[in-house]
Amino acid sequence: MDTIPTSVIVVGAGPVGLATALLLRTRGLSVTVLEAAAEHAPRPGSRAIFLHRQSLATLAAADPVLGAELVGNGLIWGARRTSYAGREVHHRAYTPPPPDRAPFSSLPQPVMEELLRAACRRAGAELRWETPVTGVTVSTDGVRVGTPEGGLRAAYAVGCDGARSAVRQAIGVRLNGPRSPHAFLVLDLADDPGHPLPQERAFHYLDPRMAGRNVLTVPFRGGLRVDVQCRPDDDPDALGEAAADWLPGLLPEGHACSVTWSSHYRFQQVVADRLTDAYGRVLLAGEAGHLFAPFGARGLNSGIADAAAATAALSTGDVSGYAHARHRAALLNRRAAGRALTHLTAPTPWHRAAQRLAAAAALCSDRAGRWLDSAPYGPRDAGIPGSRY
């Protein structure tokens, strides 16, 4: 048995585990991160590309170098555009603010993770790779985390080990909630310097270039995310395999259309029964505790809010406060992401009529255009005091 005097074991070196470790170090707690994968194991796809202002501020307060790097390695687009059945209904262009007032940063999640790993090392967190956690035993005075080499003891453990969390299973907690029946095809395209894309986020309702499917495109540093909402009769695999036929129609003439990653999803909207064990020694954060549809960017950003709240709880010993506040936040975030999902999938004639009427009204009403532009992301505020997530 390894008896290193670790105060907190963080399980998982994804973005939430790394953020948790960094924030815990800023409060002076000793931290060991146990990660199942090798340090440079490939992480396919851009995944979470949108770091919101609140997440940037949290991480910059812990490490100003990291804050500057997350903005410097990201993109802040200067326009948003929405069309309905091929006609523009909203367009807003603005001058991006200076980096120290960045409203967000758009960069691939693997780049965020690389920057977070460096910040964790600067802060003195110990990172152990290829160390899968196989179990957790809890008592009133601490936890023992099992690994193939034996185990580690600590006062607390934070499970940041993602959707299939072994920590969550070890403490007997389940995820509950629905999975959307609607499939979404997601592709990453590499930039083509010869044919630069407009640096704007665009949403197309009933896009005629895609036979009436909804299409969202979001730029990030180095590429473009293309998100196509499949029709009920679509085979998402076949649609993805045929991308070479339809992608050129969405992009400027001559663009290389180099697809770097593609996948399809039926998004889950699930939240853990509770976010701590019965003794208050194990906390769940990020996707170990909740999974949301990505519209509104609540996945990673709410995980960073969890990391900040877990750090405050472990510094003060108020673990039950964490359990209560972040469970409530997870339910509110799920409801907000669910509103975005409902708007996108427009399940009733009423939803479809409201969008059609707003598109007609947008000819003379800026408000109608703004609603069509913002509704696919859900409410801006989840109703959580002091936090957007």
Ligand X SMILES: Cc1cc2nc3c(=O)[nH]c(=O)nc-3n(C[C@H](O)[C@H](O)[C@H](O)COP(=O)(O)OP(=O)(O)OC[C@H]3O[C@@H](n4cnc5c(N)ncnc54)[C@H](O)[C@@H]3O)c2cc1C
Q: Which residues bind ligand X (CB under 6 A)?
A: 11-17, 34-37, 47-50, 109, 132-133, 160-162, 166, 186, 286-287, 294, 297, 299-301, 303
Task: Give yes or no for a contact between 362 and 90, defined as CB atoms under 8 angstroms apart.
Answer: yes
Identify which of residues 159 and 369 has a Cβ nearer to ligand X in the complex: 159
Provide the minimum distance between the beta carbon of 363 and ligand X in the complex, in angstroms, as a whole number: 31
Provide the minimum distance between the beta carbon of 40 and ligand X in the complex, in angstroms, as a whole number: 12
Identify which of residues 34 and 120 has a Cβ nearer to ligand X in the complex: 34
Task: Evaluate the CA torsion angle 106, 372, 377, 329 in order and state its sign.
Answer: positive
Identify which of residues 300 and 359 has a Cβ nearer to ligand X in the complex: 300
Length of the chain: 389
Identify which of residues 34 and 210 has a Cβ nearer to ligand X in the complex: 34
Provide the minimum distance between the beta carbon of 266 and ligand X in the complex, in angstroms, as a whole number: 12
Tokens of 157: 């453990």
Q: What is the DSSP letter of 268?
A: B
Provide the minimum distance between the beta carbon of 8 and ligand X in the complex, in angstroms, as a whole number: 15
Task: Give yes or no for a contact between 301 and 50, defined as CB atoms under 8 angstroms apart.
Answer: yes
Residue whose beta carbon is closest to ligand X:
14
Task: Give yes or no for a contact between 234 and 183, defined as CB atoms under 8 angstroms apart.
Answer: yes
Task: Give yes or no for a contact between 85 and 23, defined as CB atoms under 8 angstroms apart.
Answer: no
Identify which of residues 13 and 23 has a Cβ nearer to ligand X in the complex: 13
Provide the minimum distance between the beta carbon of 209 and ligand X in the complex, in angstroms, as a whole number: 22
Provide the minimum distance between the beta carbon of 165 and ligand X in the complex, in angstroms, as a whole number: 7
Rounded CA gap, 105 and 113, in Å?
Answer: 14
Task: Give yes or no for a contact between 33 and 55, defined as CB atoms under 8 angstroms apart.
Answer: no
Residue located via tokens 């409801």: 335
Identify which of residues 167 and 362 has a Cβ nearer to ligand X in the complex: 167
Q: What is the DSSP letter of 199?
A: S
SS3 (DSSP) at 210: helix
Identify which of residues 310 and 362 has a Cβ nearer to ligand X in the complex: 310
Provide the minimum distance between the beta carbon of 321 and ligand X in the complex, in angstroms, as a whole number: 21
* CA-closest candidate to residue 18, choices 39, 4, 3: 39
